[in-house]
Structure 1
Amino acid sequence: MSLLRARGLQRHFGGIAAVDGVDFDLEKGEIHGLIGPNGAGKTTFVSLLSGRIAPQEGRITLEGEDITALPAHARVRRGLGYTFQITAIFPGLSVFDNVALAVQGGRGRGDLKALVARALAQVGLEALRDEEAGTLSYGHLRLLELAMGLALQPKVLILDEPTQGLAAGEIAGFIQLVRGLTPEVSVLLIEHNMAVVMELAQRITVLNFGRVLAQGSPAEIRANKAVQEAYLGA
């Protein structure tokens, strides 16, 4: 059984099918890429998975449990984390306190200080724990957002455009970091940087006009003529 599964998801806006009958599976311990041209339906699809908006048709399960009707906060408590797109950083609070707030709002179980310390260690921010978040560099802010997501102790972590604005060296570090999250955490990666997707993802789903255009390994996606015409520009 897939860790996260969607079947027949549909969502229309003003007669336009933003997501039109999408099936999707995320396996335990997998890094799964989600790509597609602008307007393909990626943001709407991820919003359906995370509970930010409700589907008009279809079903979503997490570890076999139907979560279709659950709001976003209830999905977080069941292990579905969504970061980078909607994470709220409090610039006047310390790095430590920002992560502590995420623990308190999520499914964190155990000693608060230990959970925060573990999340900061995972992203390499232990030395900055007492710094005000508002003083961090852009790259460190991204790492803080990731630490806040990891502090939720997710089973699934959705990363939405995580490398946007990062320098090349920071991207290399991010790739190594995300690879190290598995198999404990399964990752859905929405990313325009194709080099990052091709290096990290075991499988890739391509959306176009709200529908699944292709699914497969990076090699299969590279070789898919329909994907080349719609997105890769080959």
Structure 2
Amino acid sequence: MTVAASGPLLETEGLTRRFGGLTAVDHVDFQLFPGEIRALIGPNGAGKTTFVGLLSGRIPPSEGRVRFGGEDVTRLPAHARMARGMAYTFQITSVFANLSLFDNVALAVQRRLARGEGLEAETMAALDRVGLAGRARQTAGDLSYGHQRLLEIAMGLAQRPRLLILDEPTQGLSDGEIEGFKALVRDVAAEATVLLIEHNMDVVMSLATRITVLDMGARLAEGDPAAIHADAAVQRAYLGG
């Protein structure tokens, strides 16, 4: 898919967040186009999770703007951005531990459906996409950490988002599950834009169409995987070259 032919799905201008004397995100300009699988990388403390918190509406900015689908959403809370088609899975799992896998995903489906029609079918379809349909009646809190991450992705997919933001999604997954995750993201990208915050560079380099690198809260570099891998500044700051 050629992404440059249309305007950005998500855009920031001068996006900044300060916590007291610390500037966690420093005047970041960012554009994400429909159909992309974009990776956001950087060393620990680079501001990645704060940045996606600003994108999703969980953290208010100190300065700057966020636009989603051409609309200024800077002051909209997370639930309002979700209603517009943005889904965000967390670095730390946020499943309802005492509910079944089915009920966790059904709650996400219900946010989108005006009526309950098709609730069971759509819930099971989302679980099936992440390989958890056979565990639908299991209690979510009994899952391994990696499988809780997959459940959270199913909850995001159940919302049929225009933008799916995945924060450290492969943490806790086995090598085989990571391969399944890659296939899933490629499948999702046919219908939604994906923003991936990920430390596993094999995953990043094999999935991303473009990569944005943050360092000390600012945008250090941006480009395709080959360009990022060869960038001297990125090598010094993050890749260990």
Whether 1:122 and 2:129 are equivalent positions in the alignment is yes
Q: 2:178 aligns with which of 171, 174, 177?
A: 171
Q: 1:8 aligns with which of 9, 14, 23?
A: 14
Deviation at 1:183, TM superposition (A): 2.2
Whether 1:147 and 2:154 are equivalent positions in the alignment is yes
Secondary structure of 2:112 counterpart: coil
Deviation at 1:172, TM superposition (A): 1.2
Deviation at 1:14, TM superposition (A): 1.4
Q: CA distance change for structure 1 residues 164 and 87 in 2, over 3 Å: closer, same or farther?
A: closer
Whether 1:107 and 2:112 are equivalent positions in the alignment is yes
Q: 1:216 aligns with which of 194, 216, 223?
A: 223
**AA of the residue aligned to 1:76:** M
Supply the distance in 2 between the matched residues of 1:24 and 1:53 (Cα, whole angstroms).
Answer: 17
Whether 1:50 and 2:66 are equivalent positions in the alignment is no
Whether 1:70 and 2:80 are equivalent positions in the alignment is no
Q: CA distance change for structure 1 residues 224 and 108 in 2, over 3 Å: closer, same or farther?
A: farther
Q: CA RMSD in A?
A: 1.4
Percent identity, aligned pairs only, is 64
Supply the distance in 2 between the matched residues of 1:42 and 1:7 (Cα, whole angstroms).
Answer: 16
**AA of the residue aligned to 2:112:** R
TM-score by length of 1: 0.94
Secondary structure of 2:43 counterpart: coil
Supply the distance in 1 between the matched residues of 2:21 and 2:145 (Cα, whole angstroms).
Answer: 39
Supply the distance in 2 between the matched residues of 1:179 and 1:108 (Cα, whole angstroms).
Answer: 25
Supply the distance in 2 between the matched residues of 1:90 and 1:47 (Cα, whole angstroms).
Answer: 20
2:4 aligned residue? none
1:233 aligned residue? 240
Secondary structure of 2:88 counterpart: strand
What are structure 2's unaligned runs of at least 5 residues?
Answer: 1-6
Asked if the contact 1:30–1:183 (Cα under 8 Å) also holds between the matched residues in 2, the reply is no
Whether 1:21 and 2:17 are equivalent positions in the alignment is no
Which runs of structure 1 show a deviation greater than 4 angstroms over 4 or more consecutive aligned residues? none
1:35 aligned residue? 41
Secondary structure of 1:163 counterpart: coil
Matches within 5 A, 1:79-98: 79-85=85-91, 87-98=93-104
Asked if the contact 2:146–2:170 (Cα under 8 Å) also holds between the matched residues in 1, the reply is no
Secondary structure of 2:31 counterpart: strand
- Number of residue pairs aligned between Structure 1 and Structure 2: 233
**AA of the residue aligned to 1:114:** A
